[in-house]
Structure 1
Amino acid sequence: MKNKNYKAHLALLGANTIYGGNFLIAKGLMPNYLQPSALVLLRVAGAGLLFWVVKLFVKEKIEKKDVLLLAFCGLFGVSANMLFFFYGLSLTSPIDASIIMTSTPVIVLILSALILKEKITRNKYIGIFIGGIGAVILILYGKTGEGTSSVIGNLFVFFNATSYGLYLVLVKPLMKKYKALTVISWIFMFGLVFTIPFGIGDLSTTDFSTFTTGAYLAIAYVVIGTTFLTYLFNIYALNYVSPSVNGSYIYLQPVVSFTMVSVLAYFFDNTIYAQDISMVKILSCILVITGVYLISRKKSLSFKRL
């Protein structure tokens, strides 16, 4: 079991490192090449196909009573999650998006307490409060921030984090009952059904003749890396760790995002992204990560009387 826990943590590390690069890579595709809904449809259809191809080697049926829960997981974990994220990312800074996404563990903790009846300790209450302050500061800062910040975009990314947090909680019972590949394949099938009405129009009007090699490579990164591998890694990890532990790894994403934006800004003289780095965002990031750290601690903080 210890070896499997080790592999689960490696899977979470890999997933969130890959996803950290997605903020900048995916933003480069929108709206120059694709509208957000068209990119989401390509992402869901492409990754879903890969999951079902692999599932051909896994013979497992699902019970009829679990179909509705799988559908909800497809709605919140794939369709709503991705649509909110890509629309939000197209409107705001990659750094803002990556920091706001780190509020997911806070959301997971609250939803786990409501749905799975997980106990919230004093330590976790403090973490929720501190992390919440950081997220609120950053969302409101989108009104006045320079660079590519946007309050609407930031709100969409927060809705994305909420949707994904709900998905992590809802999918946990299914992971105890079925194999990871079975669950994720059905989730993406339902996710595709919910996504088609939103993305088919924009995808049909996309001019693929304008796509460069770099654009196709970026799409491949989003479909294979950010979607197929990260979802597979995350759902594998849920077999061995709790939803709150899974969500806590998300704090790696702003580190990767900050690094990539900094490289563009200071080594490639990208003036737009240079304005995305500010003390307010760094402070917000520190607050959110501190909150996540407190939430993920196994032992509560002890306060000595003076």
Structure 2
Amino acid sequence: MNKRLLALLAATGAAAIYGANHTIAKGLMPNVIEPYGFILLRVSGAAVIFWLISLFYPSEKVESRDWLRILACAFFGMVLNMLMFFKGLSLSTPINSSVVITIAPVLLLILSAIFLKEKITWLKSIGIGLGLSGALVLVLFGVKTQLNAPNIPLGNLLFIVNAASYSVYLILVKPMVGKYKSITLMKFLFLFALIMNLPIGIWEFSEVAWTQLPFDAIWKLTFVVVATTVLTYLFNIYALKQLSPATIGAFMYLQPVLAVFIAVMVGADTLTPLRIGAAILIFTGVFLSSRKKK
């Protein structure tokens, strides 16, 4: 099968899993596990899985000059990114999270202009303005609280930090994906992420009554570790071998469609005119900012 097609399928699979994760992860917090403890579970579980998988592959030496970049990738991709998303999700709602993080392609464009010296046209500037406006509408003018969402504006703001952090990760990790095997990258990234997240999440992790968890909570926790963490990062690393960071970012458009459908179907969230309007602003902004000349 064509490698580019496989990369597109991998990116689609990652977006689909993320779409389901908004509702599944939200249902576990805070009653089953707090957000920082949840992140420690994610990275520790993923680190164990990736190191076990690596036993079946030849070991690969990492050049000394790349360790600093790997540390930075771990921080932005598996520490700051995850902490902000899960803390934001505990404060806000699944639909808000799925809408706000679609601003990542706009942030990717800004960061690419800063670090990669890519030119921003007037059309892209308008797109950036619209996208950021849509995100700010949700942060400043949305419903402040609702059941199981104690601070929606702060949660939405953390989603923006999450999107920015993930955008930085995509730019930093891109040069590495053609240099090393996916398993090599993932096992070291999650090992460093585990070390960084340990002092942050150990208290909340230790408060979970692990032996008394019902099956409903166990399968959801397993889904977040295996599917949302291991599979999505593998899928995106594979996709980055063939696609640009901006193209990967564009697959975030799929997340709100799936997340809204799942959240509304299971009664975890509701659509409002303000959310629809903000989504239109963000989608229009992303469309304009990601357009390329024919």
- The TM-score normalised by the length of structure 2 is 0.94
Query: For residue 99 of structure 1, what is the amino acid of its counterpart?
Result: V
* Matches for 1:202-221 after TM superposition, within 5 Å: 202-221=204-223
Matched with 2:242 is: 240
1:235 and 1:119 map into 2 onto residues whose CA distance is 26
Matched with 1:8 is: 7
- For residue 200 of structure 1, report the CA deviation from its aligned partner: 0.9
> Does 2:272 align with 1:278?
yes
Matched with 1:195 is: 197
* Matches for 1:159-198 after TM superposition, within 5 Å: 159-198=161-200
Matched with 1:27 is: 26
Secondary structure, aligned partner of 2:33: coil
Q: Deviations over 1:33-78 (max 9, x none)?
A: 1011111001001112111222221431100111011001101100
1:106 and 1:140 map into 2 onto residues whose CA distance is 19
1:218 and 1:241 map into 2 onto residues whose CA distance is 31
2:119 and 2:235 map into 1 onto residues whose CA distance is 26
Secondary structure, aligned partner of 1:102: helix
Which of 215, 229, 232 is matched with 1:230 structurally?
A: 232
* Matches for 1:71-82 after TM superposition, within 5 Å: 71-82=71-82
- For residue 146 of structure 1, report the CA deviation from its aligned partner: 5.2
8 Å CA contact retained: 1:74, 1:187:
yes
* Matches for 1:87-106 after TM superposition, within 5 Å: 87-106=87-106
Query: For residue 133 of structure 1, what is the amino acid of its counterpart?
Result: S
**5+ long unaligned stretches in structure 1:** 301-306
- For residue 210 of structure 1, report the CA deviation from its aligned partner: 3.4
Which of 285, 290, 293 is matched with 1:291 structurally?
A: 285
1:145 and 1:203 map into 2 onto residues whose CA distance is 26
Secondary structure, aligned partner of 2:266: helix
- For residue 145 of structure 1, report the CA deviation from its aligned partner: 6.4
2:9 and 2:266 map into 1 onto residues whose CA distance is 28
8 Å CA contact retained: 2:142, 2:274:
no
2:146 and 2:200 map into 1 onto residues whose CA distance is 31
The CA RMSD measured in Å over matched residues stands at 1.7
> Does 2:123 align with 1:123?
yes
1:243 and 1:150 map into 2 onto residues whose CA distance is 29
Query: For residue 29 of structure 2, what is the amino acid of its counterpart?
Result: M
Query: For residue 49 of structure 2, what is the amino acid of its counterpart?
Result: L
8 Å CA contact retained: 2:81, 2:162:
yes
- For residue 239 of structure 1, report the CA deviation from its aligned partner: 0.9
Q: Deviations over 1:117-141 (max 9, x none)?
A: 2232333222212211111111113
Which stretch has the larger CA shift, 16-25 or 288-297? 288-297
Query: For residue 192 of structure 1, what is the amino acid of its counterpart?
Result: L
1:281 and 1:221 map into 2 onto residues whose CA distance is 28
Secondary structure, aligned partner of 1:49: helix
Q: Deviations over 1:157-177 (max 9, x none)?
A: 111111111111111111232
Query: For residue 121 of structure 2, what is the amino acid of its counterpart?
Result: T
1:141 and 1:33 map into 2 onto residues whose CA distance is 30
- For residue 232 of structure 1, report the CA deviation from its aligned partner: 0.5
- For residue 116 of structure 1, report the CA deviation from its aligned partner: 1.9
Query: For residue 225 of structure 1, what is the amino acid of its counterpart?
Result: A
8 Å CA contact retained: 1:142, 1:154:
no
2:140 and 2:46 map into 1 onto residues whose CA distance is 34
1:153 and 1:197 map into 2 onto residues whose CA distance is 22
**5+ long unaligned stretches in structure 2:** none
2:125 and 2:74 map into 1 onto residues whose CA distance is 30
8 Å CA contact retained: 2:105, 2:249:
yes
Which stretch has the larger CA shift, 205-214 or 141-150? 141-150
Percent identical pairs in the alignment equals: 45
Query: For residue 289 of structure 1, what is the amino acid of its counterpart?
Result: F
